[in-house]
Amino acid sequence: MLIPKVISTTTSLHLLQLLWLAPSLSMAFIPTGDCSDTTGTNGGRVGYHSPSPTDVYLPDCQNPLQRELWRVFLQEDGTAYMIPRPDGLGITYGLCNNDAFDQELMAKAQQYGLCDETVTDPTVINSMTPEDALRFANAFHRQLRFSISDDNQIYPWAPDEDILLACENITSQAALSHCEALANRCNDDTGECIDIGVIPSVEAVQELVPALNDLYGVLQEGEACIPSTVFGPTFGCPVADCFAEQSAGCEYDTAGAPFSVNDLGDCCQRQCYAVDSNGNECTGNNNPQQEGKIGESCDPASWGTDPNFCPVAKCAAPPEGCNYVFDHYVVDGDGNCCASLCYAVDADDNECTISLEGDEEEDTSSNGRVGSTCNATETGTDPNQCPVAGCTEALEGCDYVMDHFVINMDGHCCPSLCYAVDANGNECTISLEGEEDTSNGLIGSTCNATDTDPVPCAVALCAEAPEGCDYVNNHFVFNMDGQCCPSLCYAVDANGNECTHSSGARIVHSWVAAFWVGLSFAFHCLELS
């Protein structure tokens, strides 16, 4: 299947829609063309999302970053949706239970289901007011920081075009190999892409995450920042209890305190900020020669920090068997050597860690590999996160069932697509031209090309085959169009066994690649359903 690379400009009809909605939109959010990240396109991104021809892209004009990840699209009915869909992001970015947060926007997050771990009705989250959707996009952008997920992937996932740009400043061979594989997916002249999914190796992810943060202009902890002119300071900003007494000749200047990025990525005002009679900052570090990275251990005696410049925290009760101590010193965001806040140790002087309610339990339902069986009850997967497939009619005496669950590419436990069983519960196979084979009709399942008419099949540009292996074109599977075509980048050793790619740019095996592309397409359809 060929995926078109859609590039178009806003039509006059779209402009009329914007004018019609103008009374309901804050002037700060109407896309005037002044936004630094306006693409001049319909907002779609290759291999990531292709908006409907009637959708209107509304850029986040208040985005503090250099690029947009979350994009808002106006629909014909006047509502708006976001891509990526913000499932659970209210929880991730502290929109739901932070006392210092904007209460109005918190209520909106709850209204649209952003505070739910699982989305029960996708029509709600896909039908925001344009203004609310843009406010959420701005909130997410202000706290965005790419990181490495528990399964060693990029979180949140970035579009291919962003990863390719990030690779321009990387020398790591693992990352460059991954980007080369991505670049070969699409033809720049025709704008068409082939069905092949490519996932980065752990080594590539480790290089790409900081490169993406640089590309987006994500500030690091302690760097100066500018709060939004629309909303003011970011939500998760703490309020410190500072010592009543200040160094001689200095006074606290709360209103004039500068803003910097805290450990959560929020743009917050400096706490316990003091100035002298000339307006110069009074520094707690009395030894300017002392330098250290934020969070590193330090010696207060040699550092010379004035204790008055160290904040005092109000902490929850420590875990059982633990006590808070105030002799563990680290460099804080202001460059002062201060006692760690809410630092607890046990009887053996080991640091105590806080266990959140519902400690992780061992999951024996699956081995975690894509395609392996799983237990939907134990994993608690939201059904709305699972794709829905259009299947051919089941064989006579067979019925499609939705109780055979496997792990998909997003790590969700979802029903197998087009999975049919007979009266005895055995999986049914599909017959092609009266000849039975071992295929179940699922994208990526094996088929017999001799039993079907010749069809045009995609050709992939693959990385070099593993040593001792060669690519072959005689292993046929069903593609996205239901055509029986050779597996892309399918290699075998001298004994005819399939070879796996163990490092660098790992090309997903043909059935996984097809499943991944199918999942992306079906998931987009589900989002808008």
How does pLDDT run across 269-323, given as a tens digit for each residue? 887 788 888 888 876 555 545 555 667 888 887 776 767 667 766 666 778 889 8
Alpha helices, DSSP H only, in 270-359?
300-303
Last residue of a domain, one of 216, 232, 254: 216
Predicted confidence band of residue 435 (pLDDT cuts 50, 70, 90):
very low
Domain membership of residue 164 as a residue range: 154-216
- Nearest to residue 200, comparing CAs of 247, 231, 166? 166
Predicted confidence band of residue 429 (pLDDT cuts 50, 70, 90):
low
Whether residue 83 has pLDDT greater than 90: yes
Q: pLDDT higher for 442 or 121?
A: 121
pLDDT of residue 514: 38
Task: State if pTM tops 0.75.
Answer: no
Beta strands in 69-138 (DSSP E): 71-74, 80-83
When divided into structural domains, the chain yields a total of 3
Whether residue 84 has pLDDT greater than 90: yes
Predicted confidence band of residue 80 (pLDDT cuts 50, 70, 90):
very high
d(CA 336, CA 303): 8
Predicted confidence band of residue 405 (pLDDT cuts 50, 70, 90):
confident
- Is 149 a member of any domain? no
444-482: per-residue pLDDT in tens?
Answer: 567 776 655 555 565 555 666 778 888 787 888 766 455
Domain identity same for 206 and 136: no
3-state class (DSSP) for residue 216: helix
Domain identity same for 77 and 167: no
Domain identity same for 37 and 161: no
pLDDT of residue 65: 87
Domain identity same for 470 and 520: yes
Domain identity same for 136 and 195: no
464: Cβ contacts below 8 Å, ≥ 6 apart: none
- Is 393 a member of any domain? yes
- Is 113 a member of any domain? yes
- Is 334 a member of any domain? no
150: Cβ contacts below 8 Å, ≥ 6 apart: none
pLDDT of residue 28: 37
Predicted confidence band of residue 324 (pLDDT cuts 50, 70, 90):
confident
Q: pLDDT higher for 66 or 413?
A: 66
Whether residue 42 has pLDDT greater than 90: no
Note the residue count of the chain: 529
Lowest mean pLDDT among 6-15, 236-245, 328-337, 391-400: 6-15
**Rounded to the nearest 10 degrees, how much is the dihedral formed by the CA atoms of 264, 267, 273, 279?**
160
Domain identity same for 58 and 190: no
Last residue of a domain, one of 190, 216, 242: 216
- Is 244 a member of any domain? no
Lowest mean pLDDT among 160-169, 184-193, 205-214: 184-193
151-171: per-residue pLDDT in tens?
Answer: 899 999 899 899 999 999 899
d(CA 295, CA 340): 9
Domain identity same for 498 and 468: yes
pLDDT of residue 239: 66
Predicted confidence band of residue 195 (pLDDT cuts 50, 70, 90):
low
- Is 245 a member of any domain? no
- The share of the chain scoring above pLDDT 70, in percent, equals 59
- Is 338 a member of any domain? no
Predicted confidence band of residue 39 (pLDDT cuts 50, 70, 90):
low
Domain identity same for 32 and 161: no
Domain identity same for 396 and 486: yes
Domain identity same for 125 and 208: no
Domain identity same for 136 and 161: no
Domain identity same for 93 and 174: no
Last residue of a domain, one of 119, 144, 169: 144
Whether residue 125 has pLDDT greater than 90: yes
Average pLDDT, the chain: 71
